[in-house]
Structure 1
Amino acid sequence: MQYDVAIIGGSYAGLSAALPLARARRSVVVIDHGQRRNRFASHSHGFLTQDGTLASEIAEIAREQISRYSTVQFETGQVLDVAKSNDLFHVCIDKIHAITAKRIIIATGVTDQLPEIQGLRERWGQSIFHCPYCHGYELNQGQIAVINSSEFSTHQAMMLPDWGQVTFLSNGKNLTDEERKQLASKNIPIIDDEIAEISEHATINLQSSASQQFDGIFVSSATRILQDWIKALGVEIESNGVGEWIKTDAMKQTSMDGVFASGDVIRFGGSVPLSVADGNLAGVSAHRSLIF
């Protein structure tokens, strides 16, 4: 089947992109395999009118509202390949069938690659976080740990004193004199021992057998684009030491004509409100490209 626009990813950015296209009465398919990046967090914070709402509920309500538009279809599945031929994009879904579209919006999000510390993965999104604006307020200015996991960790630690009493855990990694000076300027103590495991709510147990309880822990995850078809498609991808993302212009157009992108897959750092804004603009831009 042929559509005006295929949106790959049905979370906040993808659903937001679908709305202006649906209201323009364009034929749209939203392809999603049900793996929201923030599925590990129970509640979403920082989104105007939805602060504190269940993260899953925001996506469910959005999908229900968009489903009311007759020109929007949903496909459940995983995109395995996208190829362009004769100004049309051919999208292969689960090796079962393919659809074609005049335009593509990539809204796949990214995957968080977490440090290999015992007990960390099980607490991700519950007592271990990456975004203070999303989860810092609920820690009630309590005891906060920052684990040294990337070149961004020192920066992250220096932000967090607005949300609580911060301790920096180097996890056995060497810090530069400048990094130690920066942390000292914010009165942030440093624990240099390696971490053995994380237990209970947010207790950090060290290799030295010492342990310390915290109200929350922050980690800078590495964000990666794991879909091979995105890189094979040929859109330009940017990266730094802690992430990679698709390069777009101000209107969410990628380096390839007819391909737009939105949400966490186009930025270092992300949130629900930013994804919704990105998606809306990508949808409008894709629509305009069909006209002009």
Structure 2
Amino acid sequence: MTHDQVFDTIIIGGSYAGLSAAMALGRSLRNVLIIDNGRPCNRQTPHSHNFLTQDGKTPAEISAIAREQVAQYNTIEFASDSVVTASQLNGLFVVDTANGLHYQTRKLILATGIRDIMPEIPGFSECWGVSVIHCPYCHGYEFRRKRTGILVPEDPTAAIHLSGLVKNLTSYVTLFTNGNTPFDATQLMNFEELNIKVNTQKISKIQHQDGNLQQLRLENGEMIALDALYARVPFDLHHTIGEQLGCSKTEMGLLQVDAFQKTTASGVYACGDISNPMRSVASAVYTGNLAGAMVNMALCEAKP
């Protein structure tokens, strides 16, 4: 079924970035449709931090407040659905959803976030966002002075950078290479000087209680007690909407945007985690607000 209205903007994704973009557009009297399936990547995280006025609230609580405030602007509509395809036709974008609906819009904002790909370690996914964490700015304070590990990714450069940030928060830091040997002699000596341990054993299981890490079981039978484990896991965009529209990606696999959140596809903007490696509520809200403002400006400048 085709929706008769042509929207000024359709926003795909209704979490922090999408809602922030919608608020900027709603306050500019733009007709906006937010399409969201209600499954944000941080739904398992117990508390959100490092965002002024909302520090310590649950992600769902922040989203609920944001959605309630955005809904007050009567030019904004919501659809509980998932977008399957998007294309351009006669100067408009045509969006098709999983529920069989078809929408048309003048501009498009992608704010769908990313999908984390968990390693095949039993217990990892249950702890993700609770005690297996990705960001010291978002979660590190709560685990200050605690027994902390860092799961070393394939590229050890990220772990080297992260180890300094974590060491600032706790003296109890261990790097787990999970069976790999990514560090050279000089790097190992630097870790030793900083009193950062390096464990090369493969992890066989994460033991936890309701997502709260208790200890790592290693393949050699050793048990390592831990309170937190940092991990930078691979991800994908869990859809091909950007590719369908001709959006280029960065080397990291995110959608490429300029300083105004424009993608490389004309009329398509992106914000939040899908376009920004700084995975935080504050960054999502900022990039969403900027995307909304830039779309409104583009609409104002467009020829009738």
Shorter-chain TM-score bucket reads over 0.9
- Kindly indicate whether residue 163 of structure 2 is the aligned counterpart of residue 160 of structure 1: no
How does the TM-score come out when normalised to structure 1? 0.96
* CA distance in structure 1 between the partners assigned to 2:59 and 2:178 by the alignment: 31
Report the number of matched residues. 289
Residue among 261, 276, 282 paired with 1:252: 261
Gaps of 5+ in 2: none
Pairing partner for 2:286 from 263, 277, 289: 277
Partner of 2:192: 184
- Report deviation, 1:55: 1.1
Q: CA deviation at 1:133?
A: 0.6
User: Residue 247 of structure 2: SS of its match in structure 1?
Assistant: coil
- Which secondary structure state, in structure 2, belongs to the residue aligned with residue 59 of structure 1? helix
1:9 matched residue in structure 2: 13
Q: Does 1:286 align with 2:298?
A: no
Contact 1:150 1:220 survives alignment (8 Å): no
The answer as to 2:60 corresponding to 1:56 is yes
Alignment correspondent of 1:195:
203
Q: Give CA-to-partner distance per residue, 1:17-67, whole Å, 9 cap, x none.
A: 000110111100000001112111011000011110111010001101111
* Runs of 5+ unmatched residues, structure 1: none
Amino acid at match of 2:207: S
CA RMSD of aligned residues (A): 1.3
Query: Residue 221 of structure 1 corresponds to which residue in structure 2?
Result: 233
**Match for 2:271: what amino acid?**
S
Distance in 2 separating the partners of 1:187 and 1:4: 57
In the other structure, the counterpart of 1:97 is: 101
Change in 2 beyond 3 A, CA 1:33/1:143: same
Match of 1:78 among 75, 78, 82: 82
Alpha-carbon distance, 1:127 to partner: 1.0
Q: Secondary structure at the match of 1:256?
A: coil
Letter in 2 for 1:42: P
| CA distance in 2 between partners of 1:20 and 1:140 (Å) | 37
Give the secondary structure class of the aligned counterpart of 1:83: strand
Tell me: CA distance 1:187–1:260, structure 2 relative to 1, closer, same or farther (3 Å): same
Which amino acid counterpart does residue 194 of structure 1 have in structure 2?
A: K
* TM-score, normalization by structure 2: 0.92
Deviations 1:152-185 (A, max 9, x none): 2332223210121211111110123144244334
Which secondary structure state, in structure 1, belongs to the residue aligned with residue 262 of structure 2?
A: coil
- Partner of 2:265, secondary structure, is coil
Aligned residue in 1 for 2:276: 267
